[in-house]
A and B are shown apart, each in its own frame.
Chain A
């Protein structure tokens, strides 16, 4: 601080508390005024149609509120970040000061989640009130309260699992107190908690929103499965694939065509769909073996489009743009979920007909398929083939020097990734009952790739979290229409600044000699292939 600035600051201390300098307050006030001018004209004065005539209506209350929020954020940012940075502190050194605030926010969020989970009516009132102030505030309140409730459920599940594990484990770790053991690293409980929540989801959510929630969860799980399949190719083998949706389409059309033409059951068609998709994976793999990086990305992108365009134009087989409809729905071991069918699920079990049964069944089928995908991938990672994939990502030339056949290694990665895509596709067409080329555009490939990259290349848990955020988030923001793509892009940019290697970026070694330690992502390569 210069000498000239000192007396001014000292004078400020007389009137203001030390933590709130006068100039910060002055800046906040200026911000408030600027915001008021902007919001006053943009929000405060609006032309609305009243009784079939345009009239100017005033919303100065809202404008004042918004300006206050902006000025408050400006003041908080000034005090907490700018001033400290000006004193020569780095962003990293600011983090300890922010921890209490983060903790308080988290505690408040969890408490709010608990209260709202117990009293659902409170939540709808809160959202209705927020939507009354600004239409978009309702969506935000909806999202925040939902996030609080979800966080509460996850944390509660983790704590219950932790308590159960402590209770089951007879011997106690020496010198570790009960609080330390209760609040220690929850890295191992998180996947278990998510699994338990996934299995009990139809019980956790009841009432009117159950059907919608489980439908959304099914949608998310399809993307989780696609993400896990693509993770083999992109995350493990380091081969950038922009046409993954092609295999999804192959699987979907395989089931749709066989089931409508020959009437084969889903469980017979499922392996066929997987095998056919794997075959296409190998077909794609051969020409791109020598390509790397951008070139590989371009060719895979083209491959995805070729498959879609072939489907679009091969009218006699695929129905072209009209797609295929009346695809047989999934049955429960031969028992239909249809109301009029005989034998039917509700008839045999003596239940009232309820369309939710089918939705819950579909949910468990995709959960099962996704868990199989996860199990197989985790298993493969610990096998020589999985290590060879990762070695290929790290250094292809070194791979050849230790005698690894890089051709077959790449092809197996393509084939296995494609196979899981094919499984997911078969499920998709059985669930929808109707498919057309419109479901398999490049946007889908991009979304699945975004899930893998955002989650952290190679991380299974990361894919789950990213799929929940991206697919679930865009589902919840549906009423924001095109704005959600803006939010989507913004959040991607923020995450890439905050965690450039994805949400879950560490790598778990496939074998260990002394102790199991995670590897920092700074050492792990992204692959050039």
Chain B
């Protein structure tokens, strides 16, 4: 399933003028950025910068106050259809060789099901009382539910459903092997150690066959060895599956090690965007992280 990455990667996600207000608090303020197809795009910033709010807007858990979030299936050329979809009042539309989705207009489950954006959570949200395998089967709900004839076929025991379930279990076993949890397939997910729960959440998101995977602090609480393994896992997933990754992370080892592009937020605004090398030397980023005044930035940079 390896992808031939085009020399000039086109956009998959385009966020424009995204603003999210909670009463008087402006959590995200006129943010515009884009993620390119096949890239790992990181969003970083100090605590409270609005990173998770951006994620919640993209994955439909919040309705943005203002702004447009557009996702492309197929090539980035489908963005040409964007004005038509926007002013036509539609949620999404098929275009040339793909489709374009306006995520801010879609309910959360449709974003996962139709637009195929999957996510993980900062505080792990597994189905703790279900087995590791069942967690991955639940993620394949929509495929399986259609195969079961929306329950009626499955109730009378159609063979097509049995086949679909067998395939789903095989796909789950593939992902369990990828994250090294094949032996623990029949254990309750709540019984796994913390690092394994993080990996299982990524595998569960992958079982929904996403085009865009949003990871909210996947390395939080992991030790250095585990976060190294996480890097390898994410790079492998990106290499072997047609997939783009959006990543929130505080662990700079992970961010700098695997990101292609980085967007830096502070107080809900974008303060920098670029490659890891550019970000590392950006005075505004350093100021945001170290908390110096703007006029002391030169001085602070000189000390570093």
Residues of A within 8 A of B (CB): 376, 379-380, 383-385, 387-388, 390-391, 393-395, 397-406, 412, 507, 509-517, 519-520, 523-525
Contacts and interface: CB of A to CB of B under 8 A. Distances in A.
A398 B134 CA distance: 14
Interface in B142-193: 142, 144-145, 148, 151, 154-155, 161, 165, 169, 172-173, 176, 182, 185-191
B62 interface: no
B109 A523 contact: no
A403 B207 CA distance: 11
A470 to B, nearest CB: 26
A320 B153 CA distance: 42
Interface of B is mostly: helix
B125 A397 contact: yes
Interface in B120-145: 121, 125-131, 133-134, 137-139, 141-142, 144-145
Given A379-B155, A385-B151, A401 B108 contact: yes
Contacts of A383: 148, 151, 154-155, 161
Interface stretch (B87-95, B111-119, B219-227): B111-119
Given A380-B151, A401-B119, A525 B141 contact: no
Contacts of B59: 401
B198 interface: no
Given A394-B127, A401-B59, 19 more contacts: A380-B151, A384-B144, A384-B145, A385-B151, A390-B127, A393-B129, A394-B128, A400-B61, A400-B109, A401-B125, A402-B204, A402-B207, A510-B137, A511-B137, A512-B186, A513-B182, A519-B188, A523-B188, A523-B190
A398 B205 CA distance: 10
A515 B125 CA distance: 25
Given A403-B109, A406-B109, A384 B141 contact: yes
21 contacts: A380-B151, A383-B154, A383-B155, A384-B148, A388-B141, A390-B129, A394-B128, A395-B126, A398-B126, A398-B127, A400-B108, A400-B109, A401-B59, A401-B119, A402-B112, A403-B113, A406-B109, A509-B186, A511-B169, A513-B186, A517-B187
Nearest to B145: A384
Given A383-B154, A385-B151, A512 B108 contact: no
A523 B128 CA distance: 6
A123 to B, nearest CB: 44
A477 to B, nearest CB: 36
B208 interface: yes
Contacts of A512: 131, 133, 185-186
Q: Which of A388, A395, A402, A510 has the most CB of B within 10 A?
A: A402
B145 A524 contact: no
Nearest to B135: A391
Given A401-B119, A403-B141, A509-B130, A395 B155 contact: no
A509 B185 CA distance: 11
A398 B131 CA distance: 15
A48 B186 CA distance: 67
Given A401-B118, A402-B112, A402-B138, A519 B125 contact: no
A515 B112 CA distance: 31
A385 B145 contact: yes
Given A400-B112, A402-B204, A525 B137 contact: no
Contact of B127 (A391, A412, A516, A520): A391
Contacts of B129: 390, 393-394, 507, 519, 523-525
A326 B41 CA distance: 73
User: Nearest 6 A-B pairs (CB), nearest first?
Assistant: A524-B129, A403-B112, A403-B113, A394-B127, A513-B185, A523-B190
Nearest to B176: A513
Contacts of A387: 130, 134, 137-138, 141
A513 B181 CA distance: 12
B191 A523 contact: yes
B134 A509 contact: yes
A385 B108 CA distance: 19
Nearest to A396: B125
A410 B154 CA distance: 19
Interface in B189-220: 189-191, 204-205, 207-208
Nearest to A390: B130
A379 B169 CA distance: 18
A512 B176 CA distance: 13
A519 B205 CA distance: 23
A406 B61 CA distance: 13
A393 B142 CA distance: 18
Contacts of B154: 379, 383-384
B155 A404 contact: no
A513 B173 CA distance: 8
A379 B133 CA distance: 18
A52 to B, nearest CB: 67
A210 to B, nearest CB: 37
B54 to A, nearest CB: 16
Contacts of A400: 60-61, 108-109, 112
B158 to A, nearest CB: 11
Q: Which of B121, B145, B205 has the most CB of A within 10 A?
A: B145
A388 B126 CA distance: 13
Contacts of A390: 127, 129-130, 134
A169 B280 CA distance: 70
Contacts of B176: 513
B188 A376 contact: no
Nearest to B131: A509
A517 B129 CA distance: 13
